[in-house]
Amino acid sequence: MTTILINTLLLLAIILMLSINLSYFCGKEPSHYAAIDDERFSIANITKGITTISNRKLSPFIPPFIPFRSTFVASPKYSLAACRIQKNLSTILLHLFCYLNTPRKFSKKASSLTTEFKNHLSTETCNTTHATHIATNTTFTTKLAIIRDPVERFLSGFVDKCIHEAKNKDSRCYGCDRDLVCVLKEQYTRFQMIVDGSLRSYSYEDRHFAPMSWFCDFDPETIKNYQFLYFGETEEQQGQTISDLMDVLDTHGVDNHTISHIFDELSANRTKHSTSGSEIRRKMGAELRKSKEAMRYLYHLYENDYRVFNLKSPFIYHKV
């Protein structure tokens, strides 16, 4: 029997099998196999999704745009909303919007926009401060998000949570006792599990160290709906952030007296969570940058944040 004949018979057999299978499915109740009329489930998007998942498993980098715990504040009166990213002035934003919505009630509860006060999450005090899923909400003309250098954000969180708070809470930062690599290794493992869907309960530390691109319901499309303010580490940069924020308030019709009060408060005071410029922050920053292992973990954790927010990555100039 020639090779051509064998190939012909094999082809006929395959065609026969396909015909049998197709006739089986076509004979079934059509409603059970109806096509889903949703672009999300198109062949192109399903293929793209499978490719993305495959790449995540192969890549050592923590991917962006993973749905995570997001909190928002809003002022319908001024058609203004903001997403709160932990360690990016999130406490300031909460107090600021509470003050915009209910200045008299706020003043009774707190003496300052930058001072912690009890029951600041209460509906009675903050009224309509809280909102959900603002990324696609057309009610608000401007949707704000504050971003900062990812490594500096990690350092700020580490000093605040793993050193200051850990003095009174031994279990804070997984009991790593000021060990940078220990915390980074634990977070890297936990974030991999969150990406894989095997970890659905988020720790206090997860919320403060998660990539910025995981917050705010960000995805490649919704991120375009936000106006970003950059929070730097120097006094000059932070002063510029405050000025930019005042410009936003002015654009949205906030009166000059209120803006002046907010500006004075933010310029003169810091929240108790602030670590910028402290000696321990400089010491931990120097220790971090000397450790190749720590820098390698940071690279894998946050390089995608540098890319998503178009920030200058320090890893280009640092061997990791």
What confidence category does residue 69 fall into, taking pLDDT thresholds of 50, 70 and 90?
Answer: confident
**Domain-located, residue 56:** no
CA atoms of 83 and 226, how far apart (whole Å) = 9
Is residue 40 in a domain? no
Give the mean model confidence (pLDDT) for residues 246-270.
92
pTM of the shown model: 0.77
Q: 111 near 269, Cβ under 8 Å?
A: no
Any domain includes 33: no
pLDDT at residue 5 above 90?
no
Domain presence at residue 300: yes
User: What is the chain's Cα-based Rg?
Assistant: 26
Q: Within a domain: residue 47? A: no
- CA-nearest of 181, 211, 150, 210 to 292 is 181
What's the mean pLDDT in 48-76? 75
Task: Give the C-alpha separation, 231 to 281, whole Å.
Answer: 17
Which tokens in the block code for residue 311?
């920030």
Q: What is the pLDDT of residue 3?
A: 58
Q: How many domains does the chain have?
A: 1
Cβ-based neighbours of 203, under 8 Å, separated by 6 or more: 190
Residue 113 maps to a domain: yes
What pLDDT sits at residue 8?
Answer: 56
pLDDT for res 191: 98
Q: Tell me, what's the pLDDT at 280?
A: 92
Residue 249 pLDDT > 50, yes or no? yes
The one-letter code for the residue type at 72 is F
The CA-atom distances, in angstroms, between 50 and each of 44, 56, 60, 196 are 10, 10, 17, 13
Span 11-39, average pLDDT: 37
User: Residue 113: which pLDDT band, with cuts at 50, 70 and 90?
Assistant: confident
222-243: per-residue pLDDT in tens? 999 999 999 998 889 999 999 9
On the question of pLDDT at 21 being above 90, the answer is: no
Q: Is the pLDDT of residue 132 over 70?
A: yes
66 in a structural domain: no
- Examine residue 39 and state whether it is found in any structural domain, yes or no: no
pLDDT of amino acid 200: 86
CB atoms closer than 10 angstroms to residue 288? 18
Residue 80 has pLDDT above 60, yes or no: yes
Q: Domain span at residue 141?
A: 71-311
More confident residue, 39 or 26: 39
